[in-house]
Structure formats: C-alpha cells, structure tokens
Amino acid sequence: MTALPEGWGLVLDPSVRSYRGGTVLVGGHPGRVMHLTSEGARALARLVAAGTADDATRALAGRLVGAGMAQPRPGPGPSGRGPSVAVVVPARDRADALRRCLDSLADGPPVVVVDDGSSDPGAVARACRSAGARLVRRELNGGPGAARNDGLAASRSELVAFVDSDCTVPAGWLEGLLPYFADPSVAAVAPRVVPGPAGRPGRGRAAVRFTRAHSPLDLGPAEGPVGPDRLVRYVPTAALVVRRSALGTPVGGAFDPGLPVGEDVDLVWRLVEAGQSVRYVPAVTVTHAEPDRWTALWVRRFRYGTSAAPLARRHPGRLAPVELRPGPTATACALLGGRPRTAAACAAVTAATLARRVRPLGVPVAPALRWSAAGAGWTVVGLGRAATMLYGPVLWALARRGRRGMVAAAVLVLAPPLVEWVRRRPDLDLPRWVAASVADDVAYGAGVWAGCLRHRTAGPLLPALRPTAG
C-alpha cells in the first residue's frame, strides 16, 4: 500500500510503542523500527486523534499499514453501485450442511454451487433448487480447488466470495469485508472462521470443547495483513472474498487443482508474492461445522499435514517448522540442557547486544531485556512444537540420556500446550487439553512426514536459521 485511500483512517497496532518523542516506532509483525521526522511524528499524532487521513497524512498512513504497524479503517464507500459480487460454494454430498449454508446466503448475492462429483447428486440438486442457487455439475471429483475454479469460470462478477458448504454466514457479513476493496492493492479479504455447533449433540463433547479453542481454521482475534512473514500467515478459503482481476496474470491463475489440500495457502501466498495485499478481518465471523470425534479430528490434521511438502516445493523456505535465531536459541538450548548459568550468560549477551542497537534510538534498556527473555521463551515453545510434531526419535533419545535429558524432553513436549492453555483458557481440563494438543501435533507431523516421503523433499522438516533481529 503506497497511500491510504481517501477518506480512510487507521488505528495503531497494539504491538507498536513510540520513543524519542514519537519519532521512533517499534513493533508490527514482523517486528521493525520506523524512524519519523518531528513533523512526521506530529502528523501521526493528528492522524490518530482525527481517525481519518487527510492529503498530508495518507502517504504516512500507507507506510504504517504496509509495515504492519497500523490497521486500516475503510471510509464510507463512493455513492452509487459498488463492485458486483457472486458467491461460489464447492460441495460434495453433505446435502443437509449445504442447505444450511444456502439458507444463510439467501438474502445475499447470487450463488453458484459446484457439485464436485457427489455420490448423490440429486440431493445436492434439490438443495440448490430450494434455495434458488445455480448448479454446476462435475462428473468426477477434482477437489475443492478444481471446484472453485469451475465456479469462478461460471460467474462474471468483479468480486467472488468463496464459502464452503459446511459454513454458515451471518446476515450482512459482506458489509464488513467489501469496503476494503476500495484499496486497489487489496486482492482478498477473509473473515474469522469459528467452530459452529456440534453436528451431533451428546457425542464427542470433549473433542468439541477442544476444537472450539484449537480449530486450525480459527486464526484468532488479531486483525492484520496476511503473508508468510506476518502474524497471520495464511487464511482458509472456507470463507474468502477475492478480486477476480487478481487471480489472473501475474499471479499465475486461481486455485492449483494439483493440491487437494493446502490450495488456499498456495493461493494466498501467490497473491502476496505478486505484490497484492490480503487482509484478515476477524470482526466478521463465519461458522464452520467441525468434527465432533477425536478420530475425525486427527484424520483431518493428518490430511492438512500432507500439504506441507507440495507447498514447500512451490514456496521454498516458507514451511520451516521453527525459526531459530542465534541468541535466543543458545539461551533456550542451555536451559533445556540444565545449565542455568550458561543460559543466563547467553541471555545477558543477547540483551546487551539488542540494547546497544536500540538505545541510540531512544529505546530504554528494559524493553530490550523483555524482548530478549521473550525470544528465548518462544524459542523453547517453537522447538517443543517442532519436536513433538516431527522429531519423536530425537525426543526419545533425549529422554534416555538420564535425568537432565528426561526433563528436557518433558519440557519440550509440555511447554507448547501449557502456554496455549494459559493464553486461551479453554473449556477443557488441563490433562485432557495437553493430551489432545500433543495428539493433534503428532497427527499433523505424521502427515508432514508422509507428504515429504511422497514428494521427496525435506523442506518442511528443516528449521529456518535467521540472523539476530536488529
């Protein structure tokens, strides 16, 4: 984004802190430092106070939004007709879920349902007739990507809203998403996808409670830009509004039919790599029918894991299970090795190095100390998740190396679910939460390994080594 569109406003991201009279901003995702002149700092103060950018502050606002340090607030749209919209729903059997989906879409734009080789096409056709939706029939199942491509070809609207057949949308859901397309750099906008009510009451109640706090489709309450290096790395096409013109050259087409799973991640990353912007807007929520049995959850996680290898081939370096930076990694490894003095020394060196870099910018030493400690803590969590998912033999070997090794293995396995339980406060007791989280990671990791063997790549298994953040 080069400049905020006329009439738009912004709010600073909660992560942003200002120093040296507002001329130094630190924060965003990924974290960065932005220098402002005194005039720029005064302009930013006026912008935040007014809530709307004027001609003098639109460029500054665009820089902040592009850096992930501020979130845009679309202004009132132009009078007259807005962009045309069509809804595309890929479906395969599950006629009852499709009816619920179409009922929720009843008062919105025209709907195209693509029957992707259902075993009972008559039931799908009846649901479409009842809702007044157009039906496109595929004789052979080609997967959701191929079905969405057929729906895209069957419509002519400027914007296309993809909604899965097991989702339901609230009334007026598009009103909170379409205004973002007034910015020509925005290619796609996604709502938050949250678990809906259990399909079979009374069954799988613990699994339902786990999924409510741990759904892989629910990307949380923090809005922002989407991309491999952002806080929100991808968005699912369970519900996604896309600008049609962004799906052609130079992006390379719409959904890749060769990806039965992960086709949504691939599309989003191709859009971002082509210089387009994708926004996540959790103020709008769509519900998704989640599995209510443990076995169904683990099977789905395994399937999701199989997408890592083909995605790694298409997007090299984007699927690393953990990112490691020298200072935090040294501190984390010393802690796991039961050497607190070495860990303290590593942490002190890391904090001193960081403080030396940021102190000339007017940033106090205390934040540098907090950032250093947090970096080591999150490195332990990242190593633990990667180990649980992918490196089971390493954990086993570590646990067999005496008491220290056993403690280190236990920390690696338990730290991620414990931290998540504290942060999310799920409606599930701690022992079952930990067990379910570990099983979830193992199922996903098994899928990753299966995909890597099939596609003959180790990309998703290798950690990413990053230089020390400055």
DSSP states along 340-363: HHHHHHHHHHHHHHHHHHHGGGT-
| Structure confidence at residue 172 (pLDDT) | 93
| Structure confidence at residue 373 (pLDDT) | 86
Q: How far apart are CA 76 and CA 121, in angstroms?
A: 43
Q: Is the peptide bond before 90 cis (omega within 30 degrees of 0)?
A: no
Tally of structural domains, the chain: 3
Residue 168: left (phi > 0), alpha (psi -120 to 50), or beta?
Answer: beta
| Structure confidence at residue 80 (pLDDT) | 59
Are 442 and 358 members of one domain?
yes
* Strand-pair category, 111-116 with 85-91: parallel
Q: Is residue 300 in a domain?
A: no
Q: Is residue 295 in a domain?
A: no
- Give the pLDDT of the chain (470 residues) as one tens digit per residue: 578 888 898 899 999 999 988 999 998 888 888 989 999 898 888 888 887 888 878 888 888 998 899 999 998 766 557 899 999 999 999 999 999 999 999 999 999 999 999 999 999 999 999 999 999 999 999 999 999 999 999 999 999 999 999 999 999 999 999 999 999 999 999 999 999 865 444 445 899 999 999 999 999 999 999 999 899 999 999 999 999 999 874 454 589 988 999 999 999 999 999 999 999 999 999 999 998 899 999 999 999 999 999 999 999 989 999 999 999 999 999 999 999 999 999 998 988 888 888 888 888 888 878 888 888 999 999 999 999 999 999 999 999 888 899 999 999 999 999 999 999 999 999 999 999 999 999 999 999 999 999 999 999 999 998 876 54
CB 88 within 8 A of CB 145: no
Position 258: which residue type? G
Are 141 and 268 members of one domain?
yes
Range of the structural domain that residue 454 is part of:
323-465
Q: State the CATH number of the domain containing residue 174.
A: 3.90.550.10
Are 283 and 353 members of one domain?
no
CB 304 within 8 A of CB 447: yes
Are 137 and 195 members of one domain?
yes
Residue 217 structure tokens: 């489709």
Q: Is residue 392 in a domain?
A: yes
CB 106 within 8 A of CB 127: no
Are 95 and 69 members of one domain?
no
Q: Is residue 121 in a domain?
A: yes
| Structure confidence at residue 199 (pLDDT) | 46
CB 438 within 8 A of CB 389: no
| Structure confidence at residue 54 (pLDDT) | 80
Q: Is the peptide bond before 250 cis (omega within 30 degrees of 0)?
A: yes
Q: Is residue 211 in a domain?
A: yes
Q: How far apart are CA 115 and CA 139, in angstroms?
A: 8
Q: Is residue 78 in a domain?
A: no
Are 349 and 436 members of one domain?
yes
351, 383, 399, 405, 445 from 393: Cα distances, Å = 33, 14, 10, 13, 13
| Exposed / middle / buried, residue 296 (Cβ in 10 Å: 0-12, 13-18, 19+) | middle
Domain's final residue, options 270, 290, 310: 290
Are 141 and 250 members of one domain?
yes
Domain's final residue, options 290, 310, 344: 290
Are 193 and 148 members of one domain?
yes
Are 266 and 329 members of one domain?
no
End-to-end CA distance of the chain: 24
Position 192: which residue type? R
Are 366 and 280 members of one domain?
no
| Structure confidence at residue 470 (pLDDT) | 47
Q: How far apart are CA 151 and CA 265, in angstroms?
A: 19
Q: Is residue 80 in a domain?
A: no
CB 232 within 8 A of CB 448: no
Are 237 and 112 members of one domain?
yes
For 279-364, where are the alpha helices, taking DSSP H only? 294-306, 308-314, 326-336, 340-358
Q: Is residue 308 in a domain?
A: no
CB 218 within 8 A of CB 230: no
Are 330 and 451 members of one domain?
yes
| Structure confidence at residue 252 (pLDDT) | 46
| Structure confidence at residue 253 (pLDDT) | 56
